[in-house]
Amino acid sequence: QKEVEQNSGPLSVPEGAIASLNCTYSDRGSQSFFWYRQYSGKSPELIMFIYSNGDKEDGRFTAQLNKASQYVSLLIRDSQPSDSATYLCAHQEESSYKLIFGSGTRLLVRP
Amino acid sequence: NAGVTQTPKFQVLKTGQSMTLQCAQDMNHNSMYWYRQDPGMGLRLIYYSASEGTTDKGEVPNGYNVSRLNKREFSLRLESAAPSQTSVYFCASGETGTGETQYFGPGTRLLVL
């Protein structure tokens, strides 16, 4: 079992809708979580970091962390075709600071 | 400020050949990483270096060696390439600590025939 699980998708949503991306993890000691976006043929880029339980908002993006249930999610409001990409969830190992990535969810926003 | 740079961008090797992938960062980061990315597998850590002079194995180190030449540069060497090493290789750098953001290079696409 992978440490970080994501549905591979594709998740298809119409333009203007809310896209909801989910991620579960197995390490109960994890404290830090990241969402990276990766366009096809490009390198990953950070879009959100969350450390505390609850919600963190940044523009159209909201990250939600629930440590009791061991899941972290990313909501994208008013989805745009330019949001079409693969979204990678990762947690940080507390002892080494290494990032453990999930396989990613492909998001497709239909015009 | 170039961030993280990688060379080459693309390479074709024959089975058994060797090569070195180069990575450099100009952000004065302590930590540097090498990942490989295969379809459906996400990013898997090959080796990392938490500081100049130290290197550690990641999830998939077999068939690779690394050198942290100085604080800026971290190279990945394939001594005897195998078709299973066909992949996209990303180098990343970041500060060492909680919430450390990793910044990725553009990647090297490697095809081993």
Query: Between chains, do A32 and B98 touch, taking CB under 8 Å as contact?
Result: yes
- Alpha carbon of B104: minimum distance to chain A alpha carbons (Å): 6
Burial letters for B3-24: b for 16+ Cβ neighbours within 10 Å, e otherwise? ebebeeeebebeeeeeeebbbb
| pLDDT at position A48 over 70 | yes
Q: Are B49 and B55 contacting, i.e. CB atoms less than 8 angstroms apart?
A: yes
List, for residues B57-78, the tens digit of each pLDDT value.
Answer: 999 999 999 999 899 999 999 9
Residue A1 — very low, low, confident or very high, per pLDDT cuts 50/70/90? low
List, for residues A65-94, the tens digit of each pLDDT value.
Answer: 998 999 999 999 999 999 999 999 999 887
Residues of chain A in contact with residue B55, where contact means CB-CB under 8 angstroms, are none
Residues of chain A in contact with residue B33, where contact means CB-CB under 8 angstroms, are 98
Q: Which of B40, B41, B48 sits opposite A98 (nearest CB)?
A: B48
List, for residues B17-52, the tens digit of each pLDDT value.
Answer: 999 999 999 999 999 999 999 987 789 999 999 998
- Alpha carbon of A44: minimum distance to chain B alpha carbons (Å): 6
Query: Between chains, do B48 and A46 touch, taking CB under 8 Å as contact?
Result: no
Q: Which residue has better confidence, B98 or A10? A: A10
Structure-block tokens of residue A12: 């298809």
Q: Are A37 and A97 contacting, i.e. CB atoms less than 8 angstroms apart?
A: no
Task: Give the angle subtended at the CA of A94 by the CAs of B71 and B2, to the nearest 5°.
Answer: 30
What is the pLDDT, as a whole number, of residue A29?
A: 82
User: β-strands B56-57, B108-112: how paired?
Assistant: unpaired
Q: Are B30 and B95 contacting, i.e. CB atoms less than 8 angstroms apart?
A: yes
Peptide bond into A44 cis (omega under 30): no
What is the pLDDT, as a whole number, of residue A27?
A: 84
- Alpha carbon of A101: minimum distance to chain B alpha carbons (Å): 6
Query: Between chains, do B45 and A104 touch, taking CB under 8 Å as contact?
Result: no
Q: What percent of chain B has pLDDT over 70?
A: 99
Query: Between chains, do B40 and A8 touch, taking CB under 8 Å as contact?
Result: yes
Q: Does B89 touch chain A (CB under 8 A)?
A: no
Please report the number of interchain residue pairs, chain A to chain B, with beta-carbon separation below 8 angstroms. Answer: 53
Query: Between chains, do B106 and A43 touch, taking CB under 8 Å as contact?
Result: yes
Amino acid at A53: N
